[in-house]
């Protein structure tokens, strides 16, 4: 059986007792607590009855563990089951289709205009060097203080 999963669930339940500010929904927390008690009782019944009941007990234990995990998720997240389903549906849509982005499709036959490099007033474009822009920095003007410094420099 899956005792490790049950151990992790019990560990989280005990952590919530030590740090009660983790729990946002006490109803879901107590539901998970009672489900864990049912898992323990089912394990004891499986040992008591024997091999004939072991397969069914293992299946029921797995279902109860799922219920406990979802209840603890709801308890810690402060969500309702409907909100959780909505969040999961949105996540599935994003995984399936990717992030929703606006796509601009040009009218058929038109090609988008190529982007030109931004050329500033003091920039120099070397001959034959396509796509690269060299900037000429004149430090003497700034050092002398000849410029009007009342505005924010945009260059």
The model's pLDDT over 28-74, given as tens digits with 9 standing for 90+, comes to 999 999 999 999 999 999 989 988 888 899 999 999 999 999 999 99
Of the given ranges (111-115, 134-138, 140-144), which has the lowest mean pLDDT? 140-144
How many folded domains does the chain comprise?
Answer: 1
| The pTM of the whole model exceeds 0.85 | no
Question: What pLDDT is recorded for position 90?
Answer: 87
| Mean pLDDT computed over 124-136 | 59
Average pLDDT, the chain: 80
Q: Is residue 51 part of a domain?
A: yes
Q: Is residue 88 part of a domain?
A: yes
Q: Is residue 145 part of a domain?
A: no
Exposed e or buried b for every residue in 111-150, given b needs 16+ CB within 10 A?
eeeeeeeeeeeeeeeeeeeeeeeeeeeeeeeeeeeeeeee
Structure tokens given for 79: 């969500």
């Amino acid at each position: 059986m899956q005792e490790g999963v049950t151990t992790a669930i019990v560990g989280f339940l005990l952590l919530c007792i030590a740090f009660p500010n983790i729990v946002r929904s006490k109803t879901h927390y107590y539901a998970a607590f009672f489900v864990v008690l049912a898992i323990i009782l089912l394990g004891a019944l499986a040992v008591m009855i024997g091999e004939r009941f072991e397969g069914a007990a293992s299946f029921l234990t797995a279902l109860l563990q799922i219920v406990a995990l979802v209840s603890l998720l709801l308890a810690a997240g402060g969500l309702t089951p409907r909100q959780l389903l909505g969040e999961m549906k949105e996540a599935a849509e994003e995984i399936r289709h990717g992030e929703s982005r606006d796509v601009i499709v040009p009218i058929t036959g038109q090609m988008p205009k190529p982007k030109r490099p931004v050329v500033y007033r003091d920039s120099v474009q070397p001959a034959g060097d396509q796509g690269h822009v060299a900037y000429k920095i004149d430090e003497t003007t700034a050092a002398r203080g000849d410029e009007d410094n009342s505005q924010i420099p945009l260059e």
